[in-house]
Structure 1
Amino acid sequence: MNSSETVLAGLDSELGWLRETYTRLHRHPELSLEEHETSKIVEEKLTAFGYSVTRIGGTGVVGVLANGVGPTVLARADMDALPVTEATGLSYASAVDGIMHACGHDVHVSALLGAAKLMADGRGAWSGTYIALFQPAEEIGAGSKAMVDDGLVTKVPRPDVALAQHVMPVPAGMVATTDGPVLSAGDSLKITVYGKGAHGSMPHMSVDPVVLASSIVLRLQSIVSRETRPGDFAVVTVGALNAGAKSNIIPDRATLLLNIRTYDNQVRATVLAAIERIVNGECAAAGSPREPDFEYYDQFPLTSNDADVTEQVRAAFSAHFGADAVHRAERQTASEDFSRIPDAFDVPYTFWILGGADPDAYRAAAAKGTVSQDIPGNHSPFFAPVIDPTLSMGVQTHVVAALSYLSKEK
């Protein structure tokens, strides 16, 4: 047997507690930065497996397993749930009103715990250091930053490579990856523009922020169509425009909520600069009595996979699962904050997609052309990865990817 087969030989005997852990986490979800019970479960498991365990970034947990001379590999799972009311009807559905694991982070935690256990049990097959990192608050883009700000790079060994995965509504039993940008950068922006209030019957005495905000919305549409090079990707969405409360009162301010998605950091910088330029210009043209306010929040970095790491991991997946199970991932306009962790260490990384949808249901929906309607996506109240084979695959991908660097055969 090769090293992956050796380490994974005990997987079947671990699936019982892994399923129990997953259903427990799913039944008791916790919001971003409130993952106290989840962290406690992770701490207890890692300690029992023989890891050196440290709390970092509030509810973040890192386990380090040193096993002789060799590379250091960091594997990451996120832990937080969403403010979504579950509608799956599962026997282990959320017991917490208005909170649900609607993005599969319970799968991520369980799979990495399973990999951590097998890596500890299979130390004879590999050499180096394995780091299992459990990150809070991915959903608000704050968890990786909290861990970095709390001294992550000084509290754990510097990895040579970082690995992460995400369960998605594609058939369970498959894995997909690609080099280069795989998840977009995401920025949310609150803009407040100021006018001068007046009675609705006396508009000449006002500086109308509703008209001002409307002009801004229209002009922002030109950023993608006229300031972004054809072929480059950018999305600028105005998700909310709020001003006033009564029909005959012209208010003194308006707020706009924007969301921006890009696959290139230079494009991102250009788009954000254009937004501020347009807003400032429209305010000046309207005679706004004060400068606008810009408040950036829920910011997610670009996730761009290193080509060499991705190829090494992809080859290991193909050798283990067979080429038919390994696909090229399409770029996703969803965003993640994982990359802040390897970026803080200045090390390469790869991030892959793990299938979680029922394969038979997916095939049936694909045959009818109704995948988007019939297969619930992440953040849906109906999102529910099938436990088998999703958990088993999630453990295997982590182990196989790590051993592509740590195996004694290397």
Structure 2
Amino acid sequence: MTSAAARVALDLTADLPVPALEELYRDLHRHPELSLRENRTAGVLAGRLRKAGYDTADGVGGTGVVGVLRNGDGPTVLLRADMDALPVQEETGLPYASETSGVMHACGHDLHVTWLAGAADALAAGRDTWSGTLVVVGQPAEETGEGAARMLADRLYERFPRPDVLLAQHAVPGPAGLYAHSPGLIMSASTDIDIVVHGRGGHGSRPETTVDPVVTAAYIVTRLQTVVSREIAARESAVLTVGRIEAGSRHNIIPSEARLALNLRTQSEEVRERMIAAVRRIAVGECAAAGCPREPGITVGGSFPMTVNDPDTDRRIAAVHGEVFGAGTVLDPGPAMGSEDFPRLAEGGLPYSYWFVTSTPADVWSAASGDDLLERLMAVPSNHSPHFAPDLSTVAPGVRTLVSGALASLSVE
């Protein structure tokens, strides 16, 4: 038997203005904006929310947008989409490719905003079918991990209703038409670490008078590869990446310092702390072995929390998605190593559900080499790739996921 939430969701989304939503997506894709500079994107979203009847505020946390639709007694549900793009030069060749050099919506946030705008319109138009309060959030700066915290610091839940449940979704690679839920851990924590190796510079012809920080940094990079392979149990999931190494200015100058930028991905606080301790120990030890004039500078910087769905909430949302989209469309892939700042909006332990929407175009998926799902996923463009291009066929389904999820959490008549 189909639930009331699924039935109403199908009714409210039966006549979505798909061409107009697709054009909204193309417009947002053409005009990507970096974190905390999402002024145009925020303006587009805010204008649509006001037109749909939401009490709307912009500039929240910098460039954030909040729309509130009060519709009688019932739960308060927050729907969130992130808005920022990435410093990536687009190589998709799309007719609606980015018009801003070096900036691209390479992670699908333009699609997220389109989904949110479509869902907000549909729920406002169908307000006679449900009761409660909708809080629609366009969040800035997800890519840098700043946006959710900035909105909270700007008194998000003092200025606007505090939600009873939060919902969000993300476009990912995979054959379009699948909806991935995990009733628990679904995304990992991320931690950035910066290391400065202090050496003693000099002329390349007289290395004996120097302490070469480049060589020391190379030893640190090599030794760091043993942290996961030799210090983390095989049953644990963890990744350590050295994403940047910088040193020197000319061929024949031994510099006085070298800089390393690391990123850790972990799925438990205990493993995170163990990895940070290992990084410190290795950096200090290699610098001591090299005779560096002082200990390295080690800074634990930006971080993202683990994304852990409330099991009951996520199962409820997954169930309604299964009703709306049919058998075999909802799957549990287990936790991913990617990270999100969305959980910060759930401060104080608010329950939430966060899920994935697969978005690879059918022709790209069919052409991908590989005998199984994992091999094909490795072969198609992923998030943050200059070739990442979600299929426009996901525009309407992505609206339905939000609408049905919201209705499963509101009071449906």
User: TM-score, structure 2 length as denominator?
Assistant: 0.91
CA distance in 1 between partners of 2:238 and 2:105 (Å):
29
Residue equivalent to 2:30: 27
What is the number of equivalent residue pairs in this alignment? 407
Residue equivalent to 1:185: 189
State which of 14, 19, 37 in structure 2 corresponds to 1:16.
19
Q: Does 1:251 align with 2:224?
A: no
Residue equivalent to 2:53: 50
Q: Does 1:401 align with 2:405?
A: yes
Query: 1:283 touches 1:291 (CA, 8 Å); kept in 2?
Result: yes
How far did residue 148 of structure 1 move? 1.8
State which of 209, 213, 231 in structure 1 corresponds to 2:213.
209
CA distance in 2 between partners of 1:239 and 1:393 (Å):
35
How far did residue 368 of structure 1 move? 5.8
Q: Does 1:39 align with 2:42?
A: yes
**Equivalences for residues 205-284 of structure 1 within 5 A:** 205-284=209-288
Query: 1:8 touches 1:118 (CA, 8 Å); kept in 2?
Result: no
Residue equivalent to 1:377: 382
Residue equivalent to 1:78: 82
Query: 1:7 touches 1:125 (CA, 8 Å); kept in 2?
Result: no
Residue equivalent to 1:92: 96
Q: After alignment, is 306-315 or 203-212 more displaced? A: 203-212
CA distance in 2 between partners of 1:202 and 1:91 (Å):
56
Query: 1:193 touches 1:283 (CA, 8 Å); kept in 2?
Result: yes
Query: 1:153 touches 1:345 (CA, 8 Å); kept in 2?
Result: no
How far did residue 406 of structure 1 move? 0.6
Query: 1:195 touches 1:206 (CA, 8 Å); kept in 2?
Result: yes
CA distance in 2 between partners of 1:366 and 1:285 (Å):
47
In 2 relative to 1, CA 374–200 (structure 1 residues): closer, same or farther, beyond 3 Å?
Answer: closer
CA distance in 2 between partners of 1:85 and 1:221 (Å):
30
Residue equivalent to 2:354: 351
In 2 relative to 1, CA 199–28 (structure 1 residues): closer, same or farther, beyond 3 Å?
Answer: closer
SS at match of 1:170: strand
Structure 2 unaligned spans of 5+: none
Q: Supply the AA of the counterpart residue of 1:378.
A: N
Q: Supply the AA of the counterpart residue of 1:252.
A: S
CA distance in 1 between partners of 2:95 and 2:202 (Å):
57
Residue equivalent to 1:337: 341
In 2 relative to 1, CA 42–300 (structure 1 residues): closer, same or farther, beyond 3 Å?
Answer: same
CA distance in 2 between partners of 1:122 and 1:72 (Å):
16
Deviation string 1:312-343 (CA, Å, 9 cap, x unpaired) is 1111111222221111124222222111111x
Query: 1:7 touches 1:121 (CA, 8 Å); kept in 2?
Result: no
How far did residue 360 of structure 1 move? 5.0
User: TM-score, structure 1 length as denominator?
Assistant: 0.92
Deviation string 1:342-385 (CA, Å, 9 cap, x unpaired) is 1x242121210102122354245367666247532222222211
Q: After alignment, is 165-174 or 290-299 more displaced? A: 290-299
CA distance in 2 between partners of 1:243 and 1:13 (Å):
54
Q: Does 1:123 align with 2:134?
A: no
CA distance in 2 between partners of 1:209 and 1:100 (Å):
35
Residue equivalent to 1:199: 203
Q: Supply the AA of the counterpart residue of 1:39.
A: A
Q: Supply the AA of the counterpart residue of 1:51.
A: Y
Q: Supply the AA of the counterpart residue of 1:30.
A: E
How far did residue 159 of structure 1 move? 1.1
In 2 relative to 1, CA 194–367 (structure 1 residues): closer, same or farther, beyond 3 Å?
Answer: closer
How far did residue 142 of structure 1 move? 1.7
SS at match of 1:347: coil
Moved over 6 A (4+): none
Deviation string 1:233-258 (CA, Å, 9 cap, x unpaired) is 11112233333344544322111121
Q: Supply the AA of the counterpart residue of 2:260.
A: L
TM-align CA RMSD: 2.2
Query: 1:7 touches 1:122 (CA, 8 Å); kept in 2?
Result: no
Q: Supply the AA of the counterpart residue of 2:177.
A: G
Q: Does 1:309 align with 2:313?
A: yes
In 2 relative to 1, CA 366–20 (structure 1 residues): closer, same or farther, beyond 3 Å?
Answer: same
Q: Does 1:5 align with 2:7?
A: yes
Q: Supply the AA of the counterpart residue of 2:357.
A: L
Q: Supply the AA of the counterpart residue of 1:161.
A: V
Query: 1:265 touches 1:302 (CA, 8 Å); kept in 2?
Result: no
CA distance in 1 between partners of 2:381 and 2:247 (Å):
35
In 2 relative to 1, CA 184–127 (structure 1 residues): closer, same or farther, beyond 3 Å?
Answer: same
Structure 1 unaligned spans of 5+: none
Residue equivalent to 2:66: 62
Residue equivalent to 1:139: 143
Query: 1:31 touches 1:82 (CA, 8 Å); kept in 2?
Result: yes
How many percent of aligned residue pairs carry the same amino acid?
48
Q: After alignment, is 131-140 or 2-11 more displaced? A: 2-11
In 2 relative to 1, CA 359–52 (structure 1 residues): closer, same or farther, beyond 3 Å?
Answer: same
Q: Supply the AA of the counterpart residue of 2:383.
A: N
